[in-house]
C-alpha cells in the first residue's frame, strides 16, 4: 500500500483476521477499546488484558451491544505495575495457548505525581515500559511459535521531551512528571528497535516475527485526566477537557496507527506509525520517524540490560 493510499486508511481496510489471536493491554477504554473493537470486528479473538474485571466486563458489554461476537472477547487480569500479576497472566495464557499472533502493548499511565509500583519502580517507567518489557519477554515462546506474529508497542509524541537518563531510570534524583512520561515513551521506542534487532539476529527472523511501534497523536481519551485528578488540579483538568473537545481527534482515529502497524502487509520490523496530519497530531496513519535518540543502539542495549535486570525477564530465546 502506498503512502498516499495509507493517508485514507481506515479500520475497515484491515484484512480478515479470523483465526488470529491477539492480546491488547489496557483494552477496557480509550485507544485499547477501539483497538479491541476493530480487531474483533475483523474476526480476531482478543484477550483484554486489564487491571480490573468490572471495567473490562463493561467494555465487553459495550462491544457486544455493538455487534461484536462475545466468543471473540475474553478478559484476563493483568496489572502492568505488578510483575507478579504479569507473570500470572503470562503463565495462564501460555498454559492455554501455544501461539500468539498479535501483542498490542497499549496500556499506560501519564503525568502522574510521583508513585511507585508494587515492585518499587517509578510508576510511569514501571508501567509503560518495564511492565510491557516483562510481558513481551514472558510471551516470547508463543510469539516465536507463530509465523508472522507482531509486537506493537504504543509510544507517544511525548517521547521527544527528554533523553533516557539511564543512570537514573527511576527518576530518584529529580522527578518531573511530564519528563518521566516522555522518557517512558522513549523507552517504548528503544525497546521496539532493540527487540527487532534481536529478532532479526535469531531464528525468529525465519518466522517473520516483527516488532513495530505506533503513536496516536493527540487523541481524545481519559488518560490525560488521571494525573490532574490525583493532584486535584482542576484547572488542568478543565483545559484537558477543552483540548479533547476542540483539538483532539477521536480515539477511533488515534487507534488507526496501531491497527495499521498490527495488520497491514507492507509493515516492516522497526517501523513507526502515527497520524499523517500537521505535527502528527491528527489524521490517517502513515509511517513516521521518531527523534534520533530513539535509534541509538547503545542506549537501546543498555536499557534492555537494565530492564532484564530489574524485571528478572531474560529473553533467553533471543
Looking at residues 209-219, what average pLDDT do you find?
95
C-beta separation of 182 from 134 below 8 A: no
Q: Give the span between the Cα atoms of 178 and 231, in whole angstroms.
A: 14
Q: What is the pLDDT of residues 185-195, one digit of tens each?
A: 999 999 999 99
313 phi-psi bin (left φ>0, alpha ψ -120 to 50, beta other): beta
Q: What is the pLDDT of residue 220?
A: 63
For cell 507492507, the residue is 266
Strands (DSSP E) contained in the chain are 21-25, 45-50, 73-77, 102-105, 150-154, 210-214, 272-275, 285-287
Is the pLDDT score of 2 beyond 80? no
Looking at residues 116-137, what average pLDDT do you find?
98
Q: What is the pLDDT of residue 222?
A: 58
Closest CA to 223 of 184, 279, 167: 184
286 against 205, higher pLDDT? 286
Is the pLDDT score of 262 beyond 50? yes
How many other C-beta atoms can be found within 10 angstroms of the C-beta atom of residue 84? 10
C-beta separation of 29 from 2 below 8 A: no
Q: What is the pLDDT of residue 23?
A: 99
Closest CA to 249 of 280, 288, 212: 280
The mean predicted confidence, pLDDT, of the chain is 91
Is the pLDDT score of 10 beyond 70? yes
DSSP annotation string for 134-161:
HHHHHTHHHHHTSTT-EEEEE--GGGGS
Q: What is the pLDDT of residues 290-311, one digit of tens each?
A: 999 999 999 999 999 999 999 9
The ranges assigned to domains in the chain are 7-217+251-310
Q: What is the pLDDT of residue 3?
A: 47
C-beta separation of 256 from 282 below 8 A: no
Q: Give the span between the Cα atoms of 279 and 70, in whole angstroms.
A: 38
181 part of the active site: yes
Q: What is the pLDDT of residue 22?
A: 99
Integer CA distances (angstroms), 185 to 3, 190, 285, 304, in order? 25, 9, 19, 14
CATH for 7-217+251-310 is 3.40.50.720
Closest CA to 252 of 38, 50, 28, 22: 38
- Single out the catalytic residue among 181, 218, 252, 273: 181
Amino acid at each position: 500500500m502506498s503512502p498516499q493510499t495509507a493517508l485514507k486508511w481506515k479500520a475497515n481496510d484491515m484484512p480478515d483476521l479470523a483465526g488470529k489471536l491477539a492480546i491488547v493491554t489496557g483494552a477496557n477504554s480509550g485507544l485499547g477499546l477501539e483497538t479491541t473493537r476493530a480487531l474483533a470486528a475483523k474476526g480476531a479473538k482478543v484477550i483484554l488484558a486489564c487491571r480490573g474485571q468490572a471495567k473490562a466486563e463493561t467494555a465487553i458489554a459495550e462491544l457486544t451491544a455493538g455487534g461484536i461476537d462475545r466468543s471473540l472477547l475474553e478478559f484476563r487480569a493483568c496489572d502492568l505495575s505488578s510483575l507478579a500479576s504479569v507473570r500470572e497472566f503470562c503463565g495462564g495464557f501460555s498454559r492455554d495457548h501455544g501461539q500468539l499472533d498479535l501483542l498490542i502493548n497499549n496500556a499506560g499511565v501519564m503525568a502522574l505525581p510521583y508513585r511507585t509500583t508494587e515492585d518499587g519502580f517509578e510508576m510511569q517507567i514501571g508501567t509503560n515500559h518495564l511492565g510491557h518489557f516483562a510481558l513481551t519477554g514472558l510471551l516470547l515462546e508463543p510469539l516465536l511459535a507463530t509465523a508472522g506474529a507482531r509486537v506493537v508497542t504504543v509510544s507517544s509524541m511525548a517521547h521527544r521531551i527528554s533523553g533516557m537518563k539511564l543512570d537514573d531510570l527511576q527518576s530518584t534524583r529529580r522527578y518531573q512528571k511530564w519528563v518521566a512520561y516522555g522518557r517512558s515513551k522513549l523507552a517504548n521506542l528503544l525497546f521496539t528497535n532493540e527487540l527487532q534487532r534481536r529478532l532479526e539476529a535469531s531464528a525468529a527472523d525465519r518466522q517473520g516475527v516483527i516488532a513495530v511501534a505506533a503513536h496516536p497523536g493527540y487523541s481524545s481519551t481519559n488518560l490525560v485526566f488521571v494525573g490532574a485528578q490525583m493532584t486535584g488540579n482542576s484547572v488542568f483538568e478543565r483545559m484537558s477537557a477543552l483540548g479533547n473537545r476542540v483539538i483532539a481527534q477521536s480515539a477511533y482515529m488515534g487507534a488507526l496507527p496501531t491497527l495499521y502497524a498490527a495488520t497491514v502487509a507492507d509493515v516492516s520490523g522497526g517501523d513507526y506509525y502515527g497520524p499523517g496530519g500537521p505535527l502528527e497530531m491528527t489524521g490517517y496513519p502513515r509511517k513516521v520517524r521518531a527523534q534520533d535518540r530513539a535509534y541509538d543502539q547503545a542506549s537501546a542495549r543498555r536499557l534492555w540490560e537494565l530492564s532484564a535486570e530489574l524485571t528478572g525477564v531474560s529473553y533467553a530465546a533471543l
